[in-house]
Amino acid sequence: MKILVTGHAGFIGFHTAKRLLERGDSVVGFDSVNDYYDPAIKEARLKILEQTAKETRNDYLSIRANLADQQAVAECFNEHHFDRVIHLAAQAGVRYSLENPLSYVESNLIGFTNVLEACRYSSIAHLTYASTSSVYGANTLMPFSEHEGANHPLQFYAATKKANEMMAHSYSHLFGLPTTGLRFFTVYGPWGRPDMALFKFTKNILANEPIQVFNYGCHTRDFTYVDDIVEGVIRASDDIATPAFEWNSDNPDPATSNAPFRIFNIGNNDPVTVNIYIEAIEKALGRKAIKDLLPLQPGDVPDTYADSSELEKKVGYRPATSVFHGVAKFVEWYRSYYSPNKASSTISEIHSLPK
Q: With a cut of 50, list the residues of the chain below it in pLDDT.
A: 342-355
Query: What is the distance, to the nearest Å, from the Cα of residue 136 to the centroid of all Cα atoms in its chain?
Result: 16
Q: Is residue 205 part of a domain?
A: no
Q: Is residue 296 part of a domain?
A: no
What sections of the chain are H helices per DSSP? Answer: 11-23, 39-56, 70-79, 96-99, 101-104, 111-121, 156-175, 197-206, 226-238, 274-285, 309-315, 323-337, 343-351
pLDDT at residue 353, rounded to an integer: 34
* 337 assigned to active site: no
Q: Is residue 328 part of a domain?
A: no
For the chain, the domain total comes to 1
128 burial class (0-12, 13-18, 19+ CB within 10 angstroms)? buried
Q: Is residue 289 part of a domain?
A: no
Give the strand pairing for 220-221 and 272-273.
Answer: antiparallel
Chain-wide mean pLDDT for the chain? 93
| CA dist 162 → 3, 10, 67, 174, 256 (Å) | 25, 21, 19, 19, 15
| CA dist 244 → 18, 58, 288 (Å) | 32, 36, 51
Range of the domain at 154: 2-191+224-267+307-320
Q: Name residues whose C-beta falls within 8 Å of residue 287's C-beta, 6 or more positions apart in sequence.
A: 205, 206, 208
Strand partners, 144: 306
- How many other C-beta atoms lie within 10 A of the C-beta of residue 346? 16
Q: Catalytic residue among 157, 188, 277, 334, which?
A: 157
Q: Is residue 183 part of a domain?
A: yes
**Cβ contact 180:126 at 8 Å:** yes
Q: Is residue 329 part of a domain?
A: no
Q: Is residue 327 part of a domain?
A: no
pLDDT at residue 298, rounded to an integer: 79
Q: Is residue 297 part of a domain?
A: no
d(CA 205, CA 212): 11
pLDDT at residue 232, rounded to an integer: 97
d(CA 18, CA 38): 21
Q: Which CATH number does the domain housing residue 127 bear?
A: 3.40.50.720
d(CA 41, CA 10): 9
Tell me the backbone φ, ψ of residue 238, rounded to 5 degrees: -65, -30
Q: What is the pTM of this model?
A: 0.93
